[in-house]
Amino acid sequence: MIPSPCYVLNEKDFRKNLTLIRSVQEEAGIQIILAFKAFALWSVFPIVKEYITHSTASSLYEARLAVEEMGNKAHTYAPAYSAKEFDEIAKLSSHITFNSISQFIKFYDKAKEQNISCGLRVNPEFSEVSTDLYNPCAMGSRLGVTAHQISQKLPEGLEGLHFHTLCESNSYDLEKTLHIVEQKFGHLFPNIKWLNMGGGHLLTHKDYDTQHLITVLKQFKAKYPHLHLILEPGSAFAWQTGDLHSTVLDIVDNGGIKTAMLDVSFACHMPDCLEMPYKPTIRNAYEATKGKPTYRMGGNSCLSGDFYGDWSFDKELKVGDTIIFEDMLHYTTVKTTMFNGVTHPSIALLTKDNEIKLLREFGYEDYKSRMG
Ligand SMILES: Cc1ncc(COP(=O)(O)O)c(C=O)c1O
Instruction: Return the best residue to mutate from 34, 95, 164 for the ligand 1 pocket (most ligand atoms within 8 A of CB).
Output: 164
pLDDT value, residue 131 = 86
Q: What is the arithmetic mean of pLDDT over 34-60?
A: 98
Phi-psi region of 354 (alpha: psi -120 to 50; beta: other; left: phi over 0): left
Number of the ligand 1 atom closest to the C-alpha atom of 234? 9
How many angstroms separate the alpha carbon of residue 196 from the centre of ligand 1? 11
pLDDT band, residue 53 (cuts 50/70/90): very high
Number of the ligand 1 atom closest to the C-alpha atom of 121? 1
State the Cα–Cα distance between residues 320 and 16, nearest whole angstrom: 33
pLDDT band, residue 152 (cuts 50/70/90): confident
Whether the CB of 144 sits within 6 Å of ligand 1: no
pLDDT value, residue 128 = 85
Number of the ligand 1 atom closest to the C-alpha atom of 202? 11
Instruction: Return the best residue to mutate from 33, 37, 134, 145 for the ligand 1 pocket (most ligand atoms within 8 A of CB).
Output: 37
pLDDT digits 0-9 by tens, 312-355: 999 999 999 999 999 999 999 999 999 999 999 999 999 999 99
Whether the CB of 62 sits within 6 Å of ligand 1: no
Q: What is the arithmetic mean of pLDDT over 62-82?
A: 98
How many angstroms separate the alpha carbon of residue 198 from the centre of ligand 1? 6
pLDDT digits 0-9 by tens, 275-293: 999 999 999 999 999 999 9
Question: In the chain, at which residue ranges do the beta strands (DSSP E only) sit?
Answer: 6-10, 31-32, 34-35, 55-57, 74-77, 93-98, 117-121, 158-162, 194-196, 228-231, 242-254, 257-262, 286-287, 294-298, 307-312, 322-325, 346-350, 356-360
Q: What is the arithmetic mean of pLDDT over 2-18?
A: 98
In one-letter notation, the amino acid at residue 89 is I
CB atoms inside a 10 Å sphere around CB 207: 6
pLDDT digits 0-9 by tens, 89-136: 999 999 999 999 999 999 999 999 999 999 999 999 998 888 888 899
Whether the CB of 260 sits within 6 Å of ligand 1: no
pLDDT value, residue 352 = 98
Q: In 3D, which of 272, 273, 282 has the Cα closest to residue 335?
A: 272
Q: What is the arithmetic mean of pLDDT over 261-279?
A: 97
Q: In 3D, which of 66, 11, 78, 79 has the Cα closest to residue 40?
A: 66
pLDDT value, residue 130 = 82
Q: DSSP 3-state assignment of 55?
A: strand
How many angstroms separate the alpha carbon of residue 5 from the centre of ligand 1? 27
pLDDT band, residue 151 (cuts 50/70/90): confident
pLDDT band, residue 54 (cuts 50/70/90): very high
pLDDT band, residue 232 (cuts 50/70/90): very high
Express as a percent the part of the chain with pLDDT over 70. 100
State the Cα–Cα distance between residues 120 and 162, nearest whole angstrom: 6
- Per the CB < 8 A criterion, the answer to whether 112 and 135 are in contact is no
Query: Is pTM, for the whole model, over 0.75?
Result: yes
Number of the ligand 1 atom closest to the C-alpha atom of 134? 14
Whether the CB of 160 sits within 6 Å of ligand 1: no
Q: How many residues does the chain have?
A: 372
Q: What is the arithmetic mean of pLDDT over 353-363?
A: 98
State the Cα–Cα distance between residues 54 and 21, nearest whole angstrom: 13
State the Cα–Cα distance between residues 18 and 236, nearest whole angstrom: 9
Q: In 3D, which of 157, 162, 155 has the Cα closest to residue 99?
A: 162
Per-chain mean pLDDT for the chain = 97
- Per the CB < 8 A criterion, the answer to whether 97 and 76 are in contact is yes
Q: DSSP 3-state assignment of 145?
A: strand
Residue nearest to atom 5 of ligand 1 (CA): 199
How would you classify the pairing of strands 346-350 and 322-325?
unpaired
How many angstroms separate the alpha carbon of residue 199 from the centre of ligand 1? 4
How many angstroms separate the alpha carbon of residue 102 from the centre of ligand 1? 23
